[in-house]
Structure 1
Amino acid sequence: LAPALRRNEIAQFALRSPEIITALREAIATTEPRRATYLDHVPVDRWMELMITPVPVPTSFGGADKCMLMTFHDQTPLRRVEEMRADFVANASHELRTPLAALSGFIDTLQGQAKDDPKARERFLGIMHNQATRMARLIDDLLSLSRVELSAHVRPDTLVDLLPIIRQVADGLEPLARERQVEVEIHLPDSPVMIAGDREELLRLFENLIENALKYGASGGRVIVSLTSGAATDGTQEIRIMVRDFGPGIAPEHLPRLTERFYRVDVGDSRSQGGTGLGLSLVKHILNRHRGRLLIESVPRQGATFSACFPQAKAPAQI
């Protein structure tokens, strides 16, 4: 905190923050506790809280020295959580306000000048339907994210087979694949692949991964969904489900932030595709609850691969 602080030297020479010096002087002058908060920029930005408490220290001559006990608390994690919460509320409000404003505007138009125009009415009602669907999907994603976060500390203990879940998601997205003219290839083993998991959450996870590949990698014309098993970085066995597209890929600077809430590589494209900006954040939280991990690999113009990795279920003990 103060590398320049030396014994028997004036404290203010080393404690350069004006907030610290002011609080220290007030505590000395009044002999009362003082509190101060300040931002420390070195070596990295940290929010600190300082508590100064006057403490009488007996001397060998029967008197007492007035010493100042300075206690520093690193508030950075709390500040970051507060900033994340504020950003989340602001982003969620903005994402909801945009379609709501569109709905309100078109309702006013339909009640006014377009009231007797059948063509305009049909076009506006179509737009309103899309905006209402977008709002409903955003609310659904927010609720799903909230439910997963509430149960993040409780690991699922029910054994489920991944294969029918993946096939169900792929079948459900077949109309979207036809619409985007994308061929979906499924490469799965014949025997069941069991993990400890929550079936509904896993359905949501694979739906997000495959749907993203169909929407944002559609220009590649092909999506491959495959399942393999192998050793993780710590040597334990894991199941890896890979969803690969052959679209435009993702620039390297975006990869570390893809799982942040409301983060988008291309905001306009994401919204036009009906994206909420919460899909990959939801995937990450579901994997965290299942004690798994998400791997993202991409090279621009060569597509992207999203891999959901799960710990392999232990075989039941033989009796």
Structure 2
Amino acid sequence: MAASTITYTENPVSALGVVVFLLLFYLGVRGRIRYMRTLERGTHALYATDFEARIPLKYNNELSTMAAALNDMAEQIVASRSKEKDFLLNISHDLRTPLTSIMGFLSLLKEKSYDNEPEKERYIEVLEERTGYLKKLIDEFFEISQLKWKPAVLNKSRVNMQELLRQVVEGYHPQSKDRRIETVLLLPDQSVHVEIDADLFVRVLENLLSNAFKYSRADTELTIRLREPVAENRRQCLLQLELWSTPAQTMESGELNRLFDRFYKGDSSRTGEGAGLGLSIAAEIIRLHGGRLDAQIEGERLGMMIELFMEK
């Protein structure tokens, strides 16, 4: 029986097609391979220059997207460090001011540089006031550090928002009377219940109200409005709480985005009091509740807007 023979016939056209395909493939990936090397060198450069260098963007593909993301990360790191530096300068200034005052009055008392007992008592009162203010600064600094960097455990309970607002606002009646600021509380007729950490939420309200009474113009109105919850989807509603005041000093719209920045303190507020942490503490607490705290300007009025999501 004769052995069968298989004959392979070369097709020049097919061979040429393979060559062309390989050539095109090489030309197509060569640029990517080179850019991958650029990406590798750029990554090393980021670390070598303490995130000051940037990776060049050459192509419109996933590699350039990765490079852009790395550049954005580097910019955020640099910006964060700048904010930390500003914060340290601000907190150092605010801590040094009362400390200098305390040391001065202690020196006067030690040297008995007073003419009579009433003057001595006045020195002691100033010392107590300055010491209390210094403790407040340290407590706020500790609180924002805890909220920002320590895992938070919220002790949530079902709270009637109308009752909570009435109780907190009532506690500010002396400030309202002293500053001649009329407080208007606008609440829905139907009770609004929401799951929140009541103690932390009271802290938010106290920070916002304290700021409003401290920085508002006298003989104006402070409006606190709780809006009816609005359905967002089949499971959740959006709850909005607004506080509108009239600041004594005109605020630029460009300042709004940085009001809640714990590292920011406007030049107009650098009077030796306050570390600029109250609003950032409030914003961080709302963030932990899955909501947001924003600011708006309408004419002369400044609005603090709280948004919270609640289950139906």
Question: Above 0.5 in TM-score?
Answer: yes
- Give the one of 43, 46, 53 matched to 1:40: 53
Distance 1:306 1:232 in 2: 22
Per residue, is there more strand in 1 or in 2? 1
Q: 1:227 to 1:85 in 2, by over 3 A?
A: same
Q: Matched residue of 1:132: which SS?
A: helix
Is the CA contact (8 Å cut-off) linking 1:222 and 1:245 kept in structure 2? yes
For 1:53, the equivalent position in structure 2 comes to none
State the distance in 2 between where 1:220 and 1:232 align. Answer: 37
SS of the residue 2:49 aligns to: strand
Deviation at 1:107, TM superposition (A): 0.7
User: What TM-score, normalized to structure 1?
Assistant: 0.69
> Helix, strand or coil: the match of 2:168?
helix
Deviation at 1:159, TM superposition (A): 2.1
- Corresponding residue of 2:279: 280
Q: Decide whether the 8 Å contact of 2:179 with 2:219 is kept in 1.
A: no
- The change in CA–CA distance for 1:220 and 1:268 in structure 2 (over 3 A counts) is farther
Task: Quote the offset at 1:191 in angstroms.
Answer: 3.9
Gaps of 5+ in 1: 1-5, 25-34, 45-71
User: The residue matched to 1:229 in structure 2 has which SS?
Assistant: coil
Alignment of 1:199-214 (within 5 A): 199-214=198-213
Whether 1:307 and 2:305 are equivalent positions in the alignment is yes
Structure-2-length-normalised TM-score: 0.70
Structure 1 Cα separation of the partners of residues 183 and 199 of structure 2: 22
Structure 2 alignment gaps of length 5 or more: 1-29, 58-69
Aligned residues: 261
Deviations 1:183-208 (A, max 9, x none): 11111234432222111110110011
Maintained 8 Å contact 1:292/1:308: yes
Please tell me whether the aligned partners of residues 232 and 238 of structure 2 are also in contact (alpha carbons under 8 angstroms): no
User: What amino acid is aligned across from residue 36 of structure 1 in structure 2?
Assistant: A
Higher relative contact order (CA 8 A, sep 6+): 2
Q: Which residue identity lines up with residue 165 of structure 2 in the other structure?
A: I
Tell me the equivalent position of 2:22: none
Amino acid corresponding to residue 193 of structure 2 in structure 1: M
* RMSD over aligned Cα atoms: 3.6
Aligned to 2:5: none
**More displaced 10-residue stretch of structure 1: 136-145 or 149-158:** 149-158
User: Is the CA contact 1:160–1:194 (under 8 Å) kept in the aligned structure 2?
Assistant: yes
Specify the code of the residue in structure 1 equivalent to 2:242: M
Q: Aligned runs of 1:215-234 on 2, under 5 Å? A: 215-231=214-230
Separation of aligned partners in 1, 2:247 and 2:129? 25
